[in-house]
């Protein structure tokens, strides 16, 4: 355990974030915190993190700071974009969503991430990203997601219509 960085807010580690759906799931955690914030992640910012910071008013910022440290591990080819995202955490949430676009496009085959994005398509930035992922429209995207779930033995059909 010596020499390893501890992540207090994240179910991920530098090992688990690179496996399977780990990168797409990390994005969902980041997106959730950004989408649940109104304009900014926080007005005040402290560079030091401590356990249980998520209970503070600026907990979303602290969580995203921690998740952002895992972005270059999960997406080594996008390390410079991950560094840019980490430096811009004080930016408006809409700008943060745009900075995440390359990561989202990299995971465009993850039906779990796509379903998450569909559920949050009321955000204009998310809608633009969905349009880039599937220019054929949302109905085509929904069908693709259902087909991916069916390949894994799940049969979601209630939300298709």
Whole-prediction pTM value?
A: 0.81
Q: Are 130 and 117 in contact (CB under 8 A)?
A: yes
- Give the span between the Cα atoms of 145 and 157, in whole angstroms: 10
- Give the span between the Cα atoms of 109 and 106, in whole angstroms: 8
| pLDDT recorded at residue 58 | 53
| pLDDT recorded at residue 161 | 46
Q: Are 74 and 18 in contact (CB under 8 A)?
A: yes
| pLDDT recorded at residue 42 | 61
Residues 6+ apart with CB under 8 A from 74: 17, 18, 22, 23, 26
| Mean pLDDT of the 128-154 span | 90
Confidence of residue 140 (pLDDT cuts 50, 70, 90): very high
Among 9-23, 78-92, 97-111, name the one with the lowest average pLDDT.
Answer: 9-23
Q: What is the pLDDT of residues 62-94, one digit of tens each?
A: 888 889 999 999 999 999 999 999 999 999 999
- Give the span between the Cα atoms of 34 and 90, in whole angstroms: 11
- Give the span between the Cα atoms of 131 and 134, in whole angstroms: 5
Q: Indicate the domain borders of the chain.
A: 1-99, 108-161
CA angle 16, 19, 21 (to 5 degrees): 105
């Amino acid at each position: 355990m010596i020499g390893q960085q501890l992540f207090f807010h994240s179910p991920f580690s530098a090992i688990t974030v690179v496996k399977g759906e780990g990168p797409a799931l990390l994005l969902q955690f980041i997106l959730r915190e950004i989408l649940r914030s109104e304009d900014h992640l926080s007005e005040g910012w402290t560079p030091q993190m401590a356990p249980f910071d998520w209970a503070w008013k600026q907990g979303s910022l602290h969580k995203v700071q921690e998740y952002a440290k895992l972005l270059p591990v999960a997406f080594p080819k996008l390390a410079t974009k991950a560094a840019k995202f980490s430096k811009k955490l004080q930016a408006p949430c809409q700008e943060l969503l745009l900075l995440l676009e390359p990561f989202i496009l990299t995971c465009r085959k993850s039906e779990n991430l796509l379903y998450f994005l569909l559920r949050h398509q009321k955000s204009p930035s998310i809608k633009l990203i969905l349009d880039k992922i599937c220019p054929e429209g949302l109905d085509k995207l929904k069908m693709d997601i259902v087909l991916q779930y069916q390949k894994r033995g799940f049969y979601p059909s209630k939300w298709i219509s």
